[in-house]
Structure 1
Amino acid sequence: MNTKTVFANSLPKLARLTIEEYISNNNSVVLSDECLTEYKNQRAGIFVTIYKNNQLRGCIGTISPTQENIISEILINSISACSRDPRFEKVKISELEQLTYSVNVLMPPEQIDSTDKLDPQNYGVIVVGSNNRRGLLLPRLESINTIQEQMYHVMVKANIKHDETIELYRFESIEHKE
């Protein structure tokens, strides 16, 4: 795989350029040295979300950082979101013009002892069940308005039964949208 240097002025633009280059040319990208410098010394979990006609088309991320900085995290998760989300087929070249992107920068999760400390507009949620099954929902999801809805969907996503003992975490995130 070859690499291409790109110029991006926002995190979603970096996700877009990464995905377009990967899907169109099977190349990875490197960010130009003078772009997004404030993120080159920061580490965080990152979720890259792809939308097609305002509908989810792919979303992959990391709860905690796995790369040297936020930029590298976005590069890796962008490629995964367009090609490795098990819910969707790989993005096709013909779809690229219809796609929009958001990037969530996650704050470190904090363990909580009650769902009363959740708020789907302000906090994402992570549940961990037996056998280490886990599920995560980002905050501010369009169809999730109550704590009950948030908990229902994250438990289904993790395949955790409602009566199973769980560990519960919440986190804040900063969403960058196109």
Structure 2
Amino acid sequence: MKHLLLVGLILLFACKSETSVQTSETPLYNYDIEQRIIELGITLPKLGQPVANYVHAVTTDNLVFLAGKGPKNIDGEYIKGKIGTDLTVEEGYEAAKMVGILQLAALKQEIGDLNKVVRIVKVLGMVNAEGDFTNHPEVINGYSDLMVAVFGERGKHARAAVGMGSLPRNIACEIEMIVEIQK
């Protein structure tokens, strides 16, 4: 009887995991992600090569791990300063949104078609702030809100929003992301 129950459970999980697999024939969205980006008034920038010994993204199986990026304005200059001292929370929110645009560009470069995104899985947001600053989530919301605006419910993700005493080149924030894609 135990063996029969075990076989039944194995078959149940095998059938369940088969039906949840996303294939390239399964439409994920009822709209075009790339058109949605245009509707939001976003132009994805061309990314240059990283300036050190790393890559913008690494794909393994159906997960894409995106390297941390800092915020750049439309002139290509980094947005710098500590949030709460040099920049307001609202400016930090916009900086985090700018990082989101760069990450979308890196993701598109890696996978070719943003309609293949099954979901945004995890975001790590690091905020350049003084020790007494406590509004890190409000800053990283700029990134998270952009992902939901683009991908809908599939843009909702697990997240950490933490403060850092400093970030490279005094950038306002740095954000990395993990994304599940359709195979």
What's the TM-score once normalised by structure 2's chain length?
A: 0.28
What's the TM-score once normalised by structure 1's chain length?
A: 0.29
Q: Which has the higher helix share?
A: 2
Computing the radius of gyration from Cα coordinates, the structure with the larger value is: 2
**Higher RCO (CA 8 Å, separation ≥ 6 residues):** 2
Q: Which has the higher strand share?
A: 1
